[in-house]
Structure 1
Amino acid sequence: MKQDSDAANVPACFISNHEGFRGSIKNLIRDFVVTEIDLSGQLVNTAAAIAAAAAASASSDKYNNESSAEYMDSSCYSVSQNTDDDEDAAAAADCGVDATIPSPGSFDLSVILGQSVSEELEQFVLTLKDEKSAKPDFSLGYFADKHHRANVHRAVRHRFPFLMTVTIQPEIRVREDPDYRELSRLVTEDEAEDFFRFIDAKVRGSSYMFGPDDSKEHRTTVHHFLSRRFGKLVETKSFHDQGTTAISVRLREQGRPKKRTAEERKEEEVYTAFTLCKENLETLEAISYMAAALGVLPSDFTYAGIKDKRAITYQSMVVKKVSPQRLKEKAAELEKRGMHLSQVRSVGEPLRLGRLQGNHFDLVVRELRPHGATDTHSSGANTHARLAALVKEAVGNVEAKGFVNYYGPQRFGTAQSIQSDRVGLALLKEDMVGAVRLFFTPEEGNDPVSQAKRHFLQTDNAKESLALMPLSKARERLMLRALNRYGTGPDGCAQAWLSLPHSMRVFYPHAYCSRVWNEAVAHRLTTLGHRVRRGDLVWMRDGPKKVEDPGESSSPQIHVVTDQEEHEGAYTLRQVLLPMPGNTVKYPENGTGTWYQERLARDGLGECRFRVGSLKLNLPGCYRPLLACPRNLRYQLQRGGGGGEGTGASSRKGDAQLNGTADALTLTLNFDLDSSCYATVCLREIMKCDP
């Protein structure tokens, strides 16, 4: 059973009035299986999908010759598509390009080089600070595969931009960039490292500011060095502000990375598709592992939707710059991390968020009992017959009427002392320090993560906290690394948020907007009932439009229900939409719209434009159907712990089978949901309690 704090994320409004029943879910990982449904309506792990993958692989030469220049490196998606699954907001982005300098934490060198070599490299870097003990260079080992060598070069340069990597085939050696040593004698080591990272990123038109320097003679020396060594790439000038002077460096507009060879361009355009089966892993966590193993960036992976952590999930993915052969070579290594890759083949383009019909769920609810029952193992023909009747009524009602389309507790971060929506509210109010401190609020207990967070809040020492933080906590480590570099004041905290990929940053404001949406729909049902009312928002088309259809704008299809349409019953509750707060949506023109304005004002967002310029965040908002309906719903009742082994043993819909010898009843449910709908919320409507 989930904790009460999780249940509090979802208001207790239901559509049907059946009694329901109690039970427990996710006792075992295999009790919750999620399989993506592709645009052709096929489950991505079925024989039909495998055949389609084989056909795609057979024509990969054709695909690889096609241009994919229209796709940006950082995938951008309109929030109005509402294409999220579970922690979907973690992957949604606005339509601006996030051009922040990549974080050094994006690569896991211990995976790419091996733990021992990675540690020796770190030690080599430390010796560079001591000229007496510094070694001239260091060998990373021998790499026969040229793609592997390319990934090693890229990863080491990304992590340590002040190092030079040299190939003496097939060996790769590293040495300090002499320009870095010379610059570090003129400015601080942190400034020298940041400058080289700025140069390495090569973001056109970007700039870097050194610290205050009141010595004109020293500034002249720095100017001359930068002009001599980097003059073709940058221009410098002294910048005066509030009595201090500092050197500002700007990347020239005409500055370009070196011209890529035809082979390099061809490698950049390689896209490999595969089906990922993961177990007890977040999608973004799995991507971090794969990116580290392959020596690419997490942003090189694209996917149609984010999947639940506490489950076995199957989903489509595409990675660029990695060949099918290279991906297959890493399959065994990734399986040790709980990831299984199948249907690996070449394709001509990345995936886009929302390019799926939905998800198929295979769920097992164990230890069924009526509400009010105290004995979880109560037996007897009467109890079983009553439960069978309760299940049949509940499933029938939800199939016919649907369920309230709440965002599930996964959206807000389950089992956390501070919910993600509170962090999002602080960001929308541009309280960077408050948002960081909320983010680092520890759980109760003394686990390593909580210890590291508690140490940071008590000491403000990001460096010591980073040493305590487990390596698996990528977000926390990225932020602590930035806080150590830039400080814990408002500017430093803003830099800490910028150190996270855009998809992670935007998750928190979206969590806040999701909380408001959940409360809005509960208010709408409580005050206006289950009929369509004047001022409600609906799609103009006949029947509800799927909000996840890509490429649709949010405003033209929205219609405000009139008095006459209310009296005529022109629309059904399934067609009613409620807006996610944002800067492009319109609100209902009835009491629900007034509620939105009062609710936002109560949180200090009455004048909010839903943009946080300093973090490159823009929330246009979207429209979400009030109700969702499961499709292809089937169920099966069994005695004992059976069920959950797959979908093949399911009975026909409505036929409850009682078999086995144990007393407790187990319910197996199989159904499909549109993208962005939560199976746990559907199950909640069926059971009339939080599973």
Structure 2
Amino acid sequence: MFFNDYKNRDKFPRGRGGRGRFNHNRRGGGRGGGHDNKRNNKRSYSEVNNPKRPKYESSVRVKEVDIGISEYLGDHQHFDGIFKERFSDFHVHEIDCDGKMAKLTTQEIPPDPKDTVDVEKLRQTLPEDVLEKLDAFISKTDNAEEPSALVEIDVTDITKDQRRNIHSIASKYQKVNSQTIDKENRKLLVLSKVSGDKIDKNDATFKKKYGLERDVRVNWSLREGPYCKFILHKVNIDTMDALNQLAVNLRIRANNLNYSGTKDRRARTTQWVSVKQIHPSYILEAGKRVRGLFVGNFEFVKNPLKLGTLKGNHFEIALRNITASDEEIESAMTSLRDNGFVNYYGLQRFGSVATIPTYEIGKALLKGNYQEAIDLVLKPRDNDYPDLAKARECYAKTKDAKQALKLIQRPDKIEVKLLKGITINGPNSPQNALDSIPRNTLLMYIHSYQSFVWNNMVSRRIKELGRKPVVGDLVYVSDSVADKVEVEEEEKGIDENEESKKEPIDNGKDEKLENEKKPLPVVKILAEEDLANYTLADVVMPQPGYKVTYPTYAKDWYEEFMAKDGLSLDLQNKNRRFALGGAYRKIVQIPEGLSWRVVQYDDISCDLIRSDFDKMQDKEFKINNSEGKYKALVLEMSLKSSTYATMALREILKQDTSAETQAAQTAFYHALAKQEAKDLEESQKKEKLVDKSELTVEDSVKEDQVVEAEIEPTD
């Protein structure tokens, strides 16, 4: 079997680093150095937080069969295809509750609103000597021969309102910066001229004399709201990394950035972010300093974004190296459009290592085996980051949390929080140690177990009872209510369920009893006379919990399945953080707005989907060859936030979506392409040799004829 050793060609070009946080800081930012242009020995943010994993090797990975995924809805034939072979093959756009899609279309800074304050009235409040200096300075700002104008106005003896009026007058001029400082026991209001036409964060003249930073005074009351909402378009970087790095460059805490949900790392994704009272020019500049990040479409709103406030996501996906005929593709896509797909929880919800799936950690938490849960989180595993591998090995052998903690170089890992908790609370207080882990992560573990049970129950339901509603099935009484209540971790910003998670950005809300705070939607049990009014797409299955209703035929299934794990349906845990009321989830999802096209190409590294940034830049986009030897299927669809796009792809291809399967196919695909290129090269060499050989024979015949002519006797 082949495994993926193909080098990633999608690496984003590295850019110049920032100048450093302050003039005296020699560290610099990102790839660049400090003000002396020398790079020091300290490791950059990217190097510390994103060191490379070891090269992928064969190991025991989570597969669909391990988490209860087994059934399909369509009757079409299986065929091969590769998804996410390149990150540019997977595009995601958020859809808000009003149905609007997040798209990056412009990076223009919106014009500042006009202040309606009467300048003349403000001037009447100021002393004559202040007005003279103010007028003299303003006249210089329009003079091109005065590139750096600056004036000091002594405002020690005037009122605070008068000082504010000076700032208000100055703010009406695009090229004027105003700042109040203390100097030699006097209060000075310093006005400086800003170079260029745009607001600049760093006014060199002003900083050189006073060592201060540019202060853009913005009257937020003139805008639609105090929050700047913008589009974040990221390339091959996960949401937490993107927001953390953006926050570093904005010099704010990461939790000041609000978002509705996280997006995949290996993809091109577009989403909304909001932040309070930060000018768009600052955000644009900060975005330029983060590799793989683009921001734009700035607007001002009254309220911040909140987790879960999304209708869904729009996907544009390329499946490469399709082996099916056009007729087989048409059959598969028509089935998906009409029948949908089984709404399984995808592999990313359960981690990637089969020996330590996240649902096993959740199971231990629900059973109250807190030490077992800790050991599972810290258990050594294959293909880990080097520092984490050393720390896990150290803890496994010595149980010395303090020593293991020293081996981890990144502070944003769950393992760091847990090891600190063990160090503080001691080895005999595992429950207290677990409290150091962010609450959303603990919820993710126990919800993973609920999802594991749900997948298995749905597979049994379809396998034993078929693809139509049956007596005893559950349906929502009101779909409109169900859509609002059916909220999951993915909507709350938790869709990266790897076993080594980074610390999520805390939203400051206590979600430990979220199931008790929200009412469950009302469901009805289908009777014989109801069956004609529903399809399988209407049927729901419960996640286990103490508040849900079970299908009449399935309660025994749940009890039997969970009993093997030492659990019952009564999940009112003694530790109320882990009490589970349960939830409902539809068995089938039908994608909205599904469309598809078949693409032929020759270059295996060519892009098949045009990105938002390419469209915005009006970059030329051409597929290598419309009659190429490789075939790709490019599809578009919209799905609810709680739905996994990989499960829709699984239904199309009828193949396992695990990383191991995809890696094997990718390796085979590239090996085949490499062999074909080699065969073509050898064939061309042979053709040249043949041509040369034929030419030699012809020349030889001509030479023989000449010789014969020379020796032929004459009369």
Query: Is the TM value for this pair above 0.5?
Result: yes
Does 1:604 pair with 2:566? yes
Give the Cα–Cα distance (whole angstroms) in 2 for the partners of residues 520 and 352 of structure 1: 32
**Contact 1:554/1:585 (8 A) holds in 2:** no
The structure 1 segments of at least 4 consecutive aligned residues displaced by more than 6 Å after TM superposition are 57-61, 169-172, 549-552
**Contact 2:62/2:357 (8 A) holds in 1:** no
Once the two structures are superposed, residues 637-666 of structure 1 have per-residue CA deviations (whole angstroms, 9 ceiling, x without a partner) of 1222455322899xxxxxxx9963432211
**Contact 1:272/1:322 (8 A) holds in 2:** yes
Does 1:280 pair with 2:246? no
- Name the SS of the counterpart of 2:296 in structure 1: strand
State the Cα distance separating 1:488 from its structure 2 match: 2.6
State the Cα distance separating 1:466 from its structure 2 match: 1.7
Residue type of the alignment partner of 1:571: Y
Give the Cα–Cα distance (whole angstroms) in 2 for the partners of residues 472 and 662 of structure 1: 48
Distance 1:463 1:416, change over 3 A: farther
Correspondence for 1:318: 274
Unaligned segments of structure 2, at least 5 residues: 5-59, 117-189, 191-209, 214-218, 220-224, 488-513, 615-622, 658-715
Higher relative contact order (CA 8 A, sep 6+): 1
1:229-378 equivalent positions in 2, closer than 5 A = 271-294=227-250, 296-320=252-276, 324=280, 326-333=282-289, 335-336=290-291, 338-370=292-324
**Contact 1:417/1:441 (8 A) holds in 2:** no
State the Cα distance separating 1:21 from its structure 2 match: 0.9
State the Cα distance separating 1:534 from its structure 2 match: 1.6
- Name the SS of the counterpart of 1:470 in structure 2: coil
Range moving further from structure 2, 388-397 or 663-672: 663-672
- Name the SS of the counterpart of 2:637 in structure 1: strand
Give the Cα–Cα distance (whole angstroms) in 1 for the partners of residues 115 and 100 of structure 2: 21
Give the Cα–Cα distance (whole angstroms) in 2 for the partners of residues 539 and 500 of structure 1: 35
State the Cα distance separating 1:295 from its structure 2 match: 5.2
Correspondence for 1:7: 64
Once the two structures are superposed, residues 38-74 of structure 1 have per-residue CA deviations (whole angstroms, 9 ceiling, x without a partner) of 2232221155x999x969x96999xxxxxxxxxxxxx
State the Cα distance separating 1:535 from its structure 2 match: 1.5
State the Cα distance separating 1:361 from its structure 2 match: 0.8
**Contact 2:482/2:521 (8 A) holds in 1:** no
Correspondence for 1:557: 522
Does 1:534 pair with 2:471? yes
1:432-471 equivalent positions in 2, closer than 5 A = 432-445=370-383, 447-448=385-386, 449-471=388-410
State the Cα distance separating 1:283 from its structure 2 match: 2.5
State the Cα distance separating 1:681 from its structure 2 match: 0.4
State the Cα distance separating 1:454 from its structure 2 match: 1.7
1:23 to 64, 77, 81: 81
Does 1:399 pair with 2:337? yes
Once the two structures are superposed, residues 497-527 of structure 1 have per-residue CA deviations (whole angstroms, 9 ceiling, x without a partner) of 2223222221111111111111111111112
Once the two structures are superposed, residues 210-266 of structure 1 have per-residue CA deviations (whole angstroms, 9 ceiling, x without a partner) of xxxxxxxxxxxxxxxxxxxxxxxxxxxxxxxxxxxxxxxxxxxxxxxxxxxxx9xxx
Correspondence for 2:538: 575
Residue type of the alignment partner of 1:402: G
Distance 1:542 1:611, change over 3 A: closer
Give the Cα–Cα distance (whole angstroms) in 2 for the partners of residues 364 and 58 of structure 1: 43
Identity %: 29
Give the Cα–Cα distance (whole angstroms) in 2 for the partners of residues 592 and 474 of structure 1: 39
- Name the SS of the counterpart of 2:396 in structure 1: helix
Residue type of the alignment partner of 2:349: R
Distance 1:610 1:636, change over 3 A: farther
Residue type of the alignment partner of 1:22: D
Give the Cα–Cα distance (whole angstroms) in 2 for the partners of residues 343 and 430 of structure 1: 48
Give the Cα–Cα distance (whole angstroms) in 2 for the partners of residues 422 and 531 of structure 1: 33
Correspondence for 2:693: none
Does 1:687 pair with 2:653? yes
1:217-232 equivalent positions in 2, closer than 5 A = none
Equivalent pairs counted in the alignment come to 459
Residue type of the alignment partner of 2:542: P
- Name the SS of the counterpart of 1:414 in structure 2: coil
Does 1:429 pair with 2:361? no
Residue type of the alignment partner of 1:570: N
1:663 to 608, 625, 629: 629
Give me the TM-score of the superposition, normalised by structure 2.
0.58
Correspondence for 1:635: 596
Give the Cα–Cα distance (whole angstroms) in 2 for the partners of residues 631 and 612 of structure 1: 42
Distance 1:500 1:578, change over 3 A: same
Correspondence for 1:586: 549
Give the Cα–Cα distance (whole angstroms) in 2 for the partners of residues 411 and 523 of structure 1: 20
**Contact 2:88/2:607 (8 A) holds in 1:** no
2:433 to 496, 510, 515: 496
State the Cα distance separating 1:346 from its structure 2 match: 3.4
Does 1:645 pair with 2:609? yes
Root-mean-square deviation (CA, aligned residues, Å) is 3.8
Does 1:420 pair with 2:365? no
**Contact 2:104/2:296 (8 A) holds in 1:** no
Distance 1:445 1:35, change over 3 A: closer
Give the Cα–Cα distance (whole angstroms) in 1 for the partners of residues 643 and 287 of structure 2: 31
**Contact 2:476/2:521 (8 A) holds in 1:** no
Distance 1:436 1:686, change over 3 A: same
**Contact 1:10/1:409 (8 A) holds in 2:** no
**Contact 2:485/2:520 (8 A) holds in 1:** no
**Contact 1:544/1:575 (8 A) holds in 2:** no
Range moving further from structure 2, 473-482 or 434-443: 473-482
Give the Cα–Cα distance (whole angstroms) in 2 for the partners of residues 553 and 60 of structure 1: 45
Distance 1:325 1:431, change over 3 A: farther
State the Cα distance separating 1:583 from its structure 2 match: 3.4
The structure whose Rg is larger is: 2
Give the Cα–Cα distance (whole angstroms) in 2 for the partners of residues 60 and 659 of structure 1: 56
- Name the SS of the counterpart of 2:269 in structure 1: strand
Give me the TM-score of the superposition, normalised by structure 1.
0.60
Give the Cα–Cα distance (whole angstroms) in 2 for the partners of residues 458 and 468 of structure 1: 14
Distance 1:520 1:22, change over 3 A: same
Give the Cα–Cα distance (whole angstroms) in 2 for the partners of residues 419 and 430 of structure 1: 18
Distance 1:646 1:325, change over 3 A: closer
**Contact 1:548/1:675 (8 A) holds in 2:** no
